[in-house]
Amino acid sequence: MSDLEKLQPSTNTNSLNRLEIEIAGIKFQNPVLTASGTFGYGLDFADLIDLNRLGGFCSKGLSPKPMKGNPPPRIVETHGGMLNAIGLQNIGAKAFVTDTLPQLKKYNTKVIANVFGYSLEEYIEAIEILNDGDGISAYELNISCPNVKQGGIVIGNSPDAAAEVTTAVKQVAKRPVIVKLSPNVTSIKELALAVEGAGADALSLINTLVGMSIDVYSRRPRIANVTGGLSGPAVKPVAVRMVYEVAQVVKIPIIGIGGIANWMDAVEFFIAGACAIQIGTANYYDPCVSIKIIDGLLSYCESQKLSHISEIFNSLKK
Ligand SMILES: Cc1cc2nc3c(=O)[nH]c(=O)nc-3n(C[C@H](O)[C@H](O)[C@H](O)COP(=O)(O)O)c2cc1C
C-alpha cells in the first residue's frame, strides 16, 4: 500500500479546526486554495466539487479591461508539467464585480482577486474597480507581467519596480495585498524582502518558470508565443526551495505554489515555511484534487498526533 492510500479521510468534524488558519487577518477554514488561471472564476468548478470545502480560490488574473489573450496553440504538455502562454485572457475587473461576485455569494469560501496590469496605473485602476466588489477577501498581485513603462523589464524581476507597484497598490487597496512572486529571478529573497518592505501583507510563490518546447519535425515552437510558463510537478522542487529560502528572511506569511498534486506535496511546502498552499495545474487532470488534499491533511494531522497543522510550519530538521 502506498503512503497516499494509507490515509483515509477524517470523519471527525471536530478535527476540522486543525486546519483553520489566518493570513493578514483573513480566516480560512483550511490552508488549501486553488491557483490563479487554473480555476477560472470559481463557478466553472461548482458542478464538479463542493466549493464550500475549499479554503479559498484565486481568480484568473484580472486587468481593468477584458483581454483576449494570445493566439493558439497556447498550451502544450511537457515531461511532468505543461507550458502555457494564455496571454492573460480575462473578463476584466468590472465584469468580475458585476457578474461573477454576486453568483459566488452563496458559497462559503474565500475569494482572492488576482490582479495584473501593464503599467502602474493599470494595477491601480483594476484595484479601484475591485474595491467596489462585494465578497473579495484579498488581492493577489501578479507582478510577472511586461511593464511597458519600464522598457519591457518585467516588474517581478526588479526589486525596486516590485516595491513601487506594491506601495502604490497598498495606498489604494481596501483589502489585504498578497504579492505573487516570479521564480524567473536571480534572488527570490531580494524580491521578497523588497515587497515586504513596501508593505505586502503576504507573499505567494511561485508563478511559472519561463520555458520552451520545439516540435522536432516542423522545427517550430510548440506554442505560438515561442516561450511559455512551465508549471506542474516538474517545478515543485524549485518552488519548495524558493519557499524555504524566502521563509528564512521574511516575517509575513507565505503561500506555497508549484506542482502540488497530493497532500504530501502540500506538507512539504508547510515544512519548508508556507502556511497555506495553492493548487494549479493538477486541477486540470483532477478537479477534485484540492478536496482530496484537504482530507489527506486532516488524516495526516490525526496520524501524526498534531493538534493543528501549524505545528509543522517552517519545521525543517537538518
Ligand atoms: C493555464 C495557466 C494560467 C495561469 N494564469 C495565471 C494568472 O492569470 N495569474 C497568475 O498570477 N498566475 C497564473 N498562472 C500560474 C499559476 O497560478 C501557478 O502559479 C503556477 O501554475 C504554478 O503552480 P502549479 O505548478 O500548481 O500549476 C497560470 C498557470 C496556468 C497553468
Which tens digits make up the pLDDT trace of 234-257? 999 999 999 999 999 999 999 999
Share of the chain above pLDDT 70, in %: 92
What is the Å distance from ligand 1's center to 39 Cα?
A: 9
Tell me what pLDDT residue 215 has: 98
Dig out the grid coordinates for 132 from the structure: 467596489
Atom 8 (ligand 1) nearest CA: 61
What is the Å distance from ligand 1's center to 208 Cα?
A: 6
Lining residues, ligand 1, CB within 6 Å: 35-38, 60-61, 84, 86, 88, 114, 142, 180, 207-208, 231-232, 235, 257-260, 279-281
Residue-wise DSSP of 9-54: ----GGGGGGG-EEETTEEESSSEEE-TTSSTTSGGGTTTS-GGGS
Atom 19 (ligand 1) nearest CA: 207
Q: What is the pTM of this model?
A: 0.95
Whether residue 197 is predicted with pLDDT greater than 80 in this model: the reply is yes
- AA identity, residue 125: E
What is the Å distance from ligand 1's center to 86 Cα?
A: 10
5-9, 39-43, 49-53, 243-247: which range is least confident on average? 5-9
- Containing 229, the helix (H) or strand (E) segment is strand 227-231
How far apart CA 161 and CA 169 sit, in angstroms, is: 12
Give the model confidence (pLDDT) of 135-166 as tens digits: 999 999 999 876 556 655 678 889 999 999 99
Other CB atoms within 10 A of residue 139 CB: 27
